[in-house]
Structure 1
Amino acid sequence: MTNRRMPRVLRRVIFAGLLALAGCAGRPEGVLVPSGKVAPGVSTVDLLVATTRAPSRVPGVLFSGERGSDIELREIVVSIPPGGKRKVGQVQWPTKLPADPEKDFATVSVEPLDAARAGRVWLDRNLPKSRRVLVFVHGFNNRYEDAVYRFAQIVHDSKTDAAPVIFTWPSRASIFDYSYDKESTNYSRDALEELLRAVVAKPEVGEVTVMAHSMGTWLAVETLRQMAIRDGRVPKKIQQVILASPDLDVDVFGQQLRAIGEPRPHFTLFVSRDDRALTLSRRISGNVDRLGQINPAEEPYRSMLEKQGITVLDLTALKSGDRLNHGKFAESPEVVRLIGNRLIDGQTVTDSEVGLGERLGAVALGTAQTVGSAASIVVSTPIAVFDPVTRKNYDDQWRRLGNSVEDTTVTAVGQ
């Protein structure tokens, strides 16, 4: 296909992707060479890292984008610069090595772990009093070190009270290897299932949250579907599933939910209609809507979300430094704090937790589309929440009061 014949929107998305990659070109290779020491004043994050990638011979790279034959585990400690030296949501990559821990993310230690003992030994040392575990699955176009440092940032900035575990699958970290990456997620389903089963089998673990981004959401949901088919349901300890910018065909997601069945974990979605990476995915996937780009307040998605009890946070109006608008969930201070303070804790997300104000609840839940001028409020809010549970409470109140949706919303906005 020549450049002239390529659709304009596709050219723009690919160009933006190349710009994003160009921003990574100046990073030094080998950032995972451990320093062996913790600098004064820095914070540290202790991660359990599981991967299906093939080992790399390059020091400090550890694993490549090719597929390995077995699941490999590492304990990696990452240091985060002191407060005031970085913005919440940022991964500060070193411009040269060794990294300056006063300004950069730095690797403190890397320890290989035996797969048979890793869960027991690492969790014994890192399981908090909450007894929660957070398992993160990264997305498309990620190197091993990308996934490790980004998850360390999420864990640190969210202040999550959970033991952090990351599963990283073989990605070649190129926008031109979309198909390879997609097949790598399929390749990794059994390994992710093995990891999840090892975590939930530990008696001391009380709750597990699975959080996935982009193409990693396909891997996460497919693995849960596989577990449900095998056992009749998803393990009870897996109580929360957070899908950020899900690169999922909406029709396929509906089938996956049916296969997972009931009872199932509570699903929360982060969506953004200006996600340019998902625009590209949609183009090369038959022009079927991607789950991460839906408008939760419009049909047919509104009814489907209400029926399935799925909470959606619409980040469309939220600005970020990501050229593709694909990583807002990790870069926004409000969102990463919400993840740690509410979602992993299993609490219901309502408008009051994301700064919309209690009186705008009906608008934030998507009803403004039916009340004329009030619709502009949805556009101006950074985060719009579609929470079926909260919405039902509002609807019940309105019915008891005998007022119309329009009258009640106008009154609430005008107070």
Structure 2
Amino acid sequence: MTSLGVILKTLADIQVRAIAVVMTLAMLSACAGRPEGVLVPQQVASAEKTSMVDVLVATTRRPSETPGVLFSGERDKGAHVTEIKVSIPPESKHKVGQVEWPSKLPADPAKEFTTVSVTPMTPQSAPAWLRGNLPKSRRVLVFVHGFNNRYEDAVYRFAQIVHDSKADVAPVLFTWPSRGSIFAYNYDKESTNYSRDALEDMLRRLARDPQVGEVTIMAHSMGSWLTVEALRQMAIRDGRVAPKIQNVILASPDLDVDVFTNQFSALGPKHPKFTLFVSRDDRALGLSRRISGDIDRLGQVDPTVEPYRTAFEKAGITVLDLTALKTGDSLNHGKFAESPQVVQLLGNRLIAGQTVTDSSVGLGDRLGAVALGAAQTVGGAASVAVSTPISIFDPETRRNYNDQLNRLGNAAGNTVTTAAGQ
């Protein structure tokens, strides 16, 4: 290697280390003050006026001997299933988008998330849980967490999303063996590969259950790789993804864009509807890109530029750009869960697979939606959201808009022809 090459490599290594240090400090500050063992069950008095979220949790993690930790970041053979009930503080003490972690144990249910019960189950007993928890919509929401998540992190975060979104679903969490360390990136990535078969099996069980009407999968960060890989495997084995799996939401997906292109193609023409949350200021994905060969990560792309704009349109993928959205997340990697607007959007529309680009979104003037291509067709400018930090790019609405323009153009042409004839 030339002297210049050595210098450039050294500078790149220093930059990556600097980013890692910043991310570590951010993670440490976020975890400061959390006691160990928050999953030890405790009673919550009915007078507390709390809300209850009942989650079915499947995991490929190894059981922990530490009380209240339940499962470690190490891998285990086979899957474990647990029912966990989590108490959410009253509205006056709970901030939408936030997890109020206990400052000490026992937790204070009046102002902190509290574990109410932990019930070990088996995969065979899951249908009984579904019978008691499926809503009238018969919809199941499966959540797959991302990199650097402990078991309790995934449980409490998912409980917060379910509560804040008010989604009409039976909540199922799949948690894979993450060591919960910023320095365990490669181990975590291999743990997602290790867990592909287990997630595929769980999704197939849900899809085959006659009680279940439809399944929506929401995955965050590195969990997006695991999710798309499991669906790809299913499509290869069965010839297609199970029809009941209708919607896939990828939030800040830590996915190589070239790899995702091949994965998506393998799903075949009868694939679920995909929605992406992206943010170009995602610092965690910035580091992932640097340590992964400097290839764009799917969660950091700009959907207004080529080749992504045309690729998303052809694939029928809806993209929500959260770059301008500001939350309390110093890494800008968890906006989908921390923003009240986005959490409400999840519950109102996305989890049910509905469009999010019309005026009936229900977020008032805080969320304006202009389909990708509308502004470009009319004035040549990039499509943006109106007076909002959320931009929505929906290929279906763009096509409908262009069809309307064509019809208007044809009608105008016919009018001119008729007038000329007179």
Question: 1 CA distance for matches of 2:261 and 2:381?
Answer: 31
SS at match of 2:216: strand
Residue 84, structure 1, aligned to residue 92, structure 2: yes
SS at match of 1:313: strand
2:350 alignment counterpart: 343
Question: 1 CA distance for matches of 2:278 and 2:309?
Answer: 13
Moved more, 334-343 or 148-157: 334-343
Q: How does 1:315-326 map to 2 (within 5 A)?
A: 315-326=322-333
> Of 32, 42, 54, which aligns to 2:50?
42
2:60 alignment counterpart: 52
Question: 1 CA distance for matches of 2:308 and 2:75?
Answer: 36
TM-score, length-normalised on structure 1?
0.91
Q: Is the 8 A contact 1:131 1:207 kept in 2?
A: yes
SS at match of 1:107: strand
1:170 alignment counterpart: 177
In structure 2, do the counterparts of structure 1 residues 69 and 161 end up closer, same or farther at CA, with 3 Å as the change threshold?
Answer: same
Residue 14, structure 1, aligned to residue 20, structure 2: yes
SS at match of 1:329: helix
Alpha-carbon shift at residue 399 of structure 1 (Å): 2.0
Q: Name the amino acid aligned to 1:254.
A: T
> Of 109, 114, 117, which aligns to 2:117?
109
Question: 2 CA distance for matches of 1:275 and 1:5?
Answer: 21
Paired residues in the alignment total 401
Q: Name the amino acid aligned to 1:22.
A: L
Q: Deviations over 1:126-149 (max 9, x none)?
A: 011110000000000000000000
In structure 2, do the counterparts of structure 1 residues 343 and 96 end up closer, same or farther at CA, with 3 Å as the change threshold?
Answer: same
Question: 1 CA distance for matches of 2:187 and 2:139?
Answer: 33
Question: 1 CA distance for matches of 2:290 and 2:362?
Answer: 32
Question: 2 CA distance for matches of 1:356 and 1:302?
Answer: 27
1:413 alignment counterpart: none
TM-score, length-normalised on structure 2?
0.90
Give the unaligned 5+ runs of structure 1. 404-415
In structure 2, do the counterparts of structure 1 residues 191 and 375 end up closer, same or farther at CA, with 3 Å as the change threshold?
Answer: closer
Q: How does 1:268-287 map to 2 (within 5 A)?
A: 268-287=275-294
Question: 2 CA distance for matches of 1:54 and 1:255?
Answer: 32
Question: 1 CA distance for matches of 2:369 and 2:342?
Answer: 18
Q: Is the 8 A contact 1:351 1:358 kept in 2?
A: no
> Of 229, 235, 246, which aligns to 1:228?
235
Q: How does 1:155-166 map to 2 (within 5 A)?
A: 155-166=162-173
Q: Is the 8 A contact 1:54 1:67 kept in 2?
A: yes
1:412 alignment counterpart: none
2:39 alignment counterpart: 32
Q: Is the 8 A contact 1:38 1:108 kept in 2?
A: no
Q: Percent identity?
A: 68
Alpha-carbon shift at residue 106 of structure 1 (Å): 0.4
SS at match of 1:175: coil
Q: Is the 8 A contact 2:385 2:392 kept in 1?
A: no
In structure 2, do the counterparts of structure 1 residues 294 and 258 end up closer, same or farther at CA, with 3 Å as the change threshold?
Answer: same
Question: 1 CA distance for matches of 2:366 and 2:343?
Answer: 21
Moved more, 298-307 or 376-385: 376-385
Runs of 4+ off more than 3 Å: 1-9, 36-39, 354-362, 366-380
Give the unaligned 5+ runs of structure 2. 1-5, 411-422
SS at match of 1:164: strand
Alpha-carbon shift at residue 381 of structure 1 (Å): 2.8
Question: 1 CA distance for matches of 2:362 and 2:279?
Answer: 16
In structure 2, do the counterparts of structure 1 residues 102 and 4 end up closer, same or farther at CA, with 3 Å as the change threshold?
Answer: farther
2:151 alignment counterpart: 144
1:68 alignment counterpart: 76
1:305 alignment counterpart: 312
SS at match of 1:15: helix
Of structures 1 and 2, the larger Rg is shown by: 2
Q: Is the 8 A contact 1:334 1:354 kept in 2?
A: no
Q: Is the 8 A contact 2:252 2:333 kept in 1?
A: yes
Question: 2 CA distance for matches of 1:245 and 1:26?
Answer: 27
